Structure 1
Amino acid sequence: MGRNKLARFRQNEENSNVIQEGKDIFNIIKGNWRSAQFNNNNPLVVELACGRGEFTVGLGREFRDQNFVGVDIKGSRIWKGSTIAIAEGIDNVAFLRTQIEVLDKFFAENEISELWITFPDPFPRDGDEKRRLTSPRFLEMYKPLLQKDGLIHFKTDNTGLFDYSLELFKSREDIEVLIYTHDFYASEWKDDHLGIQTRYEKIFSEKGEKIKYLRAKFI
């Protein structure tokens, strides 16, 4: 393991906005994000597979009346967003280091107001469907965690994953697709995200890839 990674892991242990195994808060955070981490009663917004946390931190900068949690298993990645948030005094941002498959161990029913799924691994092979973050398996986990009328946002450059997800969402009686587009930056909703982009979104956009987006909710 490189020295940079080791240094980042040590910093994560010190950063108060990183919730990970080994810290006391890791075992009691479920249902207690507002009181134990943020010390307020503001809405809780969660980004899955947040990577370096550009999007989570960007949202936190713009919406100080909401709390934002980026979830990723890679400690060397979330170190970046965590460090930036602390340096800028963005105290409504935190990062949870865990596998998304066990998200329900860290969030209680009705605790999340909005869920962002941003540029996840598409897992294109049919045999890997259950690993997609928009698959039925994951949707069933998200459903009880979201508040009534809580929103799901999904952004990707991958057409196959987007079409799969859109078809699945539309086929379910318990999900209402509110809006969707195969070209976000040519759509009427392009300004809704205030120009905040993930690292991968910037890369794909610069390559000319069209960004797909949908917004939905459980009913």
Structure 2
Amino acid sequence: MSRKKLVRFAQNEANPNVIQAGKPLFESIKGNWHEVQFQNSNPIVVELACGRGEFTVGLGREYPHQNFIGVDIKGSRIWKGSSTATAEGLNNVSFLRTQIQNLDQFFAEGEIAELWITFPDPFPRDGDEKRRLTSPKFLDMYKPLIQKQGLVHFKTDNTGLFDYTLELVQSREDIQVIAFTHDFYQSEMKDDHHGIKTRYEKIFSEKGEKIKYLKFQFIG
């Protein structure tokens, strides 16, 4: 392992805004994010596959009266968002280092107010459907964790994954689609995101890829 990664991992271990294996809160944070991590009762917004945390941190800047948690398994990526939040004094931003399939081990029923799924791996092969973060398996896991009428936001450049997800949520009686677009930056919804872009979103946009966006909620 490179010296740079070792330094970053050591900083993650020291930063209180990173929850990861080996820290006391890793085993006890479920149901206690408000009281223990944020020490307030503000709504909790979670971003899955947060990468370097650009979106999580950006939302934290825009909405100081909400709490934001970026989830990713890569410690070297989380380090960037964690360090930026620390440097800017964003006490409403934290990061959870874990596999997303374990999300229900870290959040209690109804603990999440909103969920963001931003530019996940599309896993295009049919045999990999269960690994998609918008597959029935994952949707069923998210449902009890999100408050009633809580919103789920999904952004991707991948047309196949977007069409798969849209068709899936439209077919479910327990999901209501609020809005969707195949060209986010030409839609009336673009200003709602305050121009915040992830690293991958910038790369895809510069290549001319249209960004797709879907907003829905569980109703049943």
The TM-score, its normalising length taken from structure 1, stands at 1.00
Question: What pairs with 1:55-94 in structure 2 (closer than 5 Å)?
Answer: 55-94=55-94
Question: What pairs with 1:1-219 in structure 2 (closer than 5 Å)?
Answer: 1-219=1-219
Question: Matches of 2:114 and 2:198 in 1, distance apart?
Answer: 17
The CA deviation at 1:168 is 0.1
Question: Matches of 2:65 and 2:121 in 1, distance apart?
Answer: 30
Could you list the per-position Cα deviations for residues 84-125 of structure 1 after superposition, in whole angstroms to 9, with x for gaps in the alignment? 000000010000000000100000000000000000000000
Counting aligned pairs with the same residue, the percent is 77
Question: Matches of 2:91 and 2:37 in 1, distance apart?
Answer: 9
Question: Matches of 1:207 and 1:192 in 2, distance apart?
Answer: 23
Question: Matches of 1:191 and 1:206 in 2, distance apart?
Answer: 19
Question: Matches of 1:214 and 1:47 in 2, distance apart?
Answer: 15
The CA deviation at 1:203 is 0.7
Question: Matches of 2:189 and 2:59 in 1, distance apart?
Answer: 16
Q: In structure 1, give the amino acid aligned to 2:59.
A: L
Three-state SS of the structure 2 residue aligned to 1:192 is: helix
Question: Matches of 2:157 and 2:150 in 1, distance apart?
Answer: 24
Question: Matches of 2:61 and 2:189 in 1, distance apart?
Answer: 20
Could you list the per-position Cα deviations for residues 68-91 of structure 1 after superposition, in whole angstroms to 9, with x for gaps in the alignment? 000000000000000000000001
Q: In structure 2, give the amino acid aligned to 1:205.
A: S
* Over 6 Å off, 4+ runs: none
Question: Matches of 1:109 and 1:196 in 2, distance apart?
Answer: 29
Question: Matches of 1:16 and 1:199 in 2, distance apart?
Answer: 24
The CA deviation at 1:49 is 0.3
How many pairs are equivalent? 219
Question: Matches of 2:148 and 2:23 in 1, distance apart?
Answer: 31
Could you list the per-position Cα deviations for residues 17-71 of structure 1 after superposition, in whole angstroms to 9, with x for gaps in the alignment? 0000111111110000011100000000000000000000000000000000000
Question: Matches of 1:4 and 1:162 in 2, distance apart?
Answer: 36
The unaligned stretches of length 5 or more in structure 2 are none
The unaligned stretches of length 5 or more in structure 1 are none
